[in-house]
């Protein structure tokens, strides 16, 4: 038996013994987590190999992903009504910025009704 075979066999035996000792001392939850990690890694290996083989095959053939040129965007035409928009008076502006909400004439006061109270509540006006 060659030395390299002997070292590989000893390394495998050491890893197996270490796994058994660690498995005996771990709690059930920690052992479950380790099994999940191992299964996840095991499931990822074939996918990684498949991606690697596809990428390597493209390199051998010299294929490169080419994207078609984007079509030119159509021209944008804006048609405004005759006379344009009426200009806003600058009275609503402060420091050169327009008001956040234009002032609207107030209509009748809004009424609110609180729902969910045990006793009868009269509607209140804001």
Indicate whether 71 belongs to any domain.
Answer: no
- Token pair listed for 66: 């080419």
Residue among 90, 125, 98, 97 at smallest CA distance from 111: 125
What's the structural domain count of the chain? 1
- pLDDT tier at 19 (50, 70, 90 boundaries)? confident
pLDDT per position as a tens digit, 20-57 = 888 888 888 988 998 999 999 999 999 999 999 988 88
| pLDDT score of 15 | 92
Q: Is the pLDDT of residue 4 over 80?
A: yes
Domain of residue 23: give its range: 3-61
* Whether this model's pTM surpasses 0.85: no
Indicate whether 81 belongs to any domain.
Answer: no
Indicate whether 80 belongs to any domain.
Answer: no
């Amino acid at each position: 038996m060659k030395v390299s075979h002997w070292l590989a066999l000893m390394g495998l035996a050491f890893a197996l013994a270490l796994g058994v000792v660690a498995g005996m001392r771990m709690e059930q939850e920690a052992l479950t987590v380790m099994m999940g990690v191992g299964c996840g890694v095991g499931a990822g290996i074939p996918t990684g190999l498949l991606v690697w083989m596809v990428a390597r095959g493209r390199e051998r053939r010299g294929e490169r992903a080419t994207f078609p040129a984007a079509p030119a965007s159509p021209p944008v035409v804006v048609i405004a009504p005759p006379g344009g928009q009426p200009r806003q008076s600058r009275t609503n502006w402060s420091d050169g910025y327009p008001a956040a909400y234009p002032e609207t004439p107030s209509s009748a006061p809004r009424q609110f009704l609180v729902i969910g109270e045990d006793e009868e509540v009269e509607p209140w006006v804001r």
